[in-house]
A and B are shown apart, each in its own frame.
Chain A
Amino acid sequence: MGEMLQVRGLTKKFGGFTAVSEVAFDLDEGEILGLIGPNGSGKSTTFNLIAGALTPTAGTVTLEGRDITGLAPTNVCHKGVARTYQIPRPFRKLTILENVALSAYFGADGSISREEAWKRAEDALDLTQLPVDAQSRVDGLGAAGLKKLELARALATQPRLLLADESLGGLDEKEMGQAADMLSHIRERRGITIIWVEHIMGVLMRVVDRCIVLDHGEIIAAGLPTDVAHDPKVVEVYLGTDAESVQSQVAGRVAGASETVGA
């Protein structure tokens, strides 16, 4: 276990507040891991610790056998980790293609040619179903389009591990389904390992292989989506918000899966 990523004893304290406490998990190549939990449970902090935006107070992050704990974000990117943001932050004054090509070129640490970077950018746009022409501007994109651009920009750095932060926020139900399928499709096409943070459980459950639930910075449950959703501690954390809907959504996942088999 853990050939792609090993996280051990990951802890982050801000003054007296512990945002992430002793988080540990493993990730195999090609897996999709769901990281869920209520707002403020430490999901995004965990992402920031892996991606290098924050330095952990304690613990280690090992990527493909190499220790990447505390590396600068630029270097973590060059080692093959990409992330998307919950709120898309494209460069609005650049074209869509420029946004992605920039990422492709510098993500490879300048080791590829102009043309190669261009090609990688086009691939990433193609994979996320965005317009591949050179003129399309960021302003023309809606919420779903911006989420796709965020994803395309991350993919253009040719990551082996993708950290996807709330890819569904702000989307309607149909778009959510498409976004989930897209992540699943990207894993199949590219063999990329994915950690996916979300606080909407249902759609995520359809796609992920395994699930970790965080609450107050600690892992309170881990395992298969179906088991996690019925875990009393998880139900308690989500109670009053959407405990019932979580269960019904998971039931829907099973139904959805059999439909796919039937089709």
Chain B
Amino acid sequence: MDFPLTDPFFWETVIQGLLFGGVLALLSLGLNIVFGVIDVVWICYAELIMLGMYTIYYLYSDFGVPLPLAMVAGVLMVALLGAALHHFIIRPILHTEPINQLLVTGGVLFFLQGFATLAFSVEFRNLGVSFGSIEAGDMYIPTTRLLAFVVSLVAVVVLWLFLKKTYLGTAIRAISQDRDIMPLMGVSPGKIYLVTSALGGGLAGLGACLLVLLYDIHPAIGLTFGPITFMVCVMGGLGNMIGGFIAAFIFAEFIALGGFYAEIEWGYVMAFAFFIVMMFIRPQGILGSKS
């Protein structure tokens, strides 16, 4: 084998990993904000993304809606689904045992998968949109992946500004620290939870916009991204958005470089092995606090 640092394929792989990391980082944001604020894990998070992808696909392919508009509709659709998930399913059992919330969102996962299979059939669908590649030296970088990466970074910055600079964002940060005293300040926790759920859904919708450009759509696509998104969040420290962001890039590089030295499946094996080892060393996650 050549010395990798002079090998353009090596660098192409590193960059591909970086770009994939951006997508994973975006996917982890929605799950993390919902957990950080409401203390609930949406096991069915990736299935919301799947529904967002179908929304965009049908609007674009069957109804001829221009792609950017279809994507906006997809984001709104999943935001609405997130709010509905909270209002109809999480809220009634919010104060019961945490395991109930895990189980019920797990149930929603299979419900949505079954629903999608019945409604859309198991056929793989593709948007058929390609933006080509950018050539840099001997390397080829697919434009869609670059776009996905940039959108992820912008989303992270916008979310950070929202949380830091607006009253609603400040309330969202505050309620994750002490939910009981919020009403004394005139804040209704129920409303904040609903807004947060819609925000988490909206981020899943944004993830759908990017994935729909990169992958085929089918009812079980959630299983491809659900577990890895979940693991990125856990490794970063559940609810810790910066930790999740770092973990996303670590995971993505493991997968990409594993694929470079062996087959891509070995990348996943190594990433998950690393995850398991990390759980022994730092069970609270990279940036999670002990409690």
Contacts and interface: CB of A to CB of B under 8 A. Distances in A.
Interface of A: 51-53, 72-74, 77-78, 82-83, 85, 89, 91-94, 98-99, 101-103, 105-110, 114, 117, 153-154, 157
A77 B186 CA distance: 5
Chain B binding surface SS class: helix
Interface stretch (B11-19, B171-179, B276-284): B171-179
Q: Interface range on chain B: under 10, 10 to 19, 20 to 34, or 35 or more?
A: 10 to 19
Residue with the greatest number of chain B CB neighbours at <10 A, chosen from A73, A85, A99, A106: A106
A105 B174 CA distance: 13
A105 B184 contact: no
Contacts of A101: 167, 170
B183 interface: yes
Contacts of B173: 91, 93-94
A93 B183 CA distance: 18
Contacts of A102: 167, 170-171, 174, 185, 187
Top 10 nearest A-B pairs (CB, nearest first) are A73-B183, A107-B186, A106-B186, A103-B185, A77-B186, A106-B187, A105-B167, A74-B188, A74-B183, A91-B174
A149 B237 CA distance: 31
Nearest to A156: B185
B109 to A, nearest CB: 32
Contacts, number: 61
Contact of A74 (B174, B177, B187): B187
B181 interface: yes
Nearest to B189: A74
B185 to A, nearest CB: 4
A74 B186 CA distance: 5
A29 B183 CA distance: 24
Nearest to B180: A89
